[in-house]
A and B are shown apart, each in its own frame.
Chain A
Amino acid sequence: GAVVSQHPSRVICKSGTSVKIECRSLDFQATTMFWYRQFPKQSLMLMATSNEGSKATYEQGVEKDKFLINHASLTLSTLTVTSAHPEDSSFYICSARVLRGRGYTFGSGTRLTVV
C-alpha cells in the first residue's frame, strides 16, 4: 500500500519548452505532496510543498514562476518546469506523507534532461 506513481520516468526536452511531471497517490489520499530535486551524489533538496486546493509553498531560492505546482485533487500533484534551461536538468522526485502511517513514500523519480 501507499504507492505514489510518478510519470514520466525520463524526459528530454529542448531549451525554452515546458515539461510537466505528474505524481499520483494510487491507494491513499495525499492532501500534501512534496517535490524534491536531487543532483548526482547529493541529498534530496526540498523545492516546494504542494497542498490540495491551495497554493504551493516554495522553499527559499526556488522560482515560483519557473516551477509551477498544481495540486488539483487529493490524488494528483503536478510540477511544470517552464522555459526549461540546461541547468534545470536534474532528477525530480515527489513524495507524500503516509496518512495514519509513518514516514514518507516517494515516487520513482523523473530524470529531466534539457538540451
Chain B
Amino acid sequence: QKEVEQDPGPLSVPEGAIVSLNCTYSNSAFQYFMWYRQYSRKGPELLMYTYSSGNKEDGRFTAQVDKSSKYISLFIRDSQPSDSATYLCAMSESGGSYIPTFGRGTSLIVHP
C-alpha cells in the first residue's frame, strides 16, 4: 500500500460545478497537508497549505483535513475551464526536513 493514495481520474465536470478532490494516507505522523496544481509540462504550484486537522478556505478553494480518517479533500467552487489541470496532494511529517510525500495527482477537466 502506498503512503498516499489519489485517484488519477480523469475527472470531467461542467463549468460552474463544485469539484471534490481527495487523498487518503496511511502515515499517522503526517502533520502538514498541501495541494498543488500542475498544468501540463509545468512545475507544480502551491494552492493550499494546512496544518493538522480542520478546514482552510482561500477564494474558490477549500481544503479539509480529517486526521482521524486519514483523509484530505480539496473543494473547488464555481469551477472554470482554467482550473483544468492535475491536482496533487502532498503531506509531510513535522520535524526533520519536512520532505513531502506526493500523491500521483488527479487530472481535472472543466468543460465549458
Chain A 15-62 residues near chain B, CB threshold 8 A: 32, 34, 41-44, 46, 49
On whether the beta carbons of B104 and A43 are closer than 8 Å, the reply is yes
Number of interface residues of A (CB under 8 A): 23
User: What's the dominant secondary structure at chain B's contact region?
Assistant: loop
Q: Which B-chain residue is minimally distant from A107 (CB atoms)?
A: B43
**Also in contact, A43 and B105, with CB within 8 A (given A106-B44, A108-B43):** yes
Q: How far is the CA of A6 from the CA of B44 in the complex (A)?
A: 13
On whether the beta carbons of A41 and B8 are closer than 8 Å, the reply is yes
**Also in contact, A44 and B98, with CB within 8 A (given A108-B43, A109-B42):** no
Q: Which B-chain residue is minimally distant from A39 (CB atoms)?
A: B104
Q: In whole Å, how far is B103's beta carbon from the nearest beta carbon of chain A?
A: 6
**Also in contact, A102 and B88, with CB within 8 A (given A43-B103, A43-B105, A44-B102):** no
Residues of B within 8 A of A6 (CB): 43
On whether the beta carbons of A93 and B44 are closer than 8 Å, the reply is yes
Query: At the interface, yes or no: B54 with Cβ under 8 Å from chain A?
Result: no
Q: How far is the CA of A32 from the CA of B43 in the complex (A)?
A: 18
Residues of B within 8 A of A41 (CB): 8, 104-105, 107
1/0 per residue A77-115: CB within 8 Å of B? 000000000000001010101000011111111010000
Residues of B within 8 A of A42 (CB): 104
Closest 7 CB pairs between A and B? Answer: A106-B43, A43-B104, A103-B46, A103-B49, A102-B49, A44-B102, A109-B43
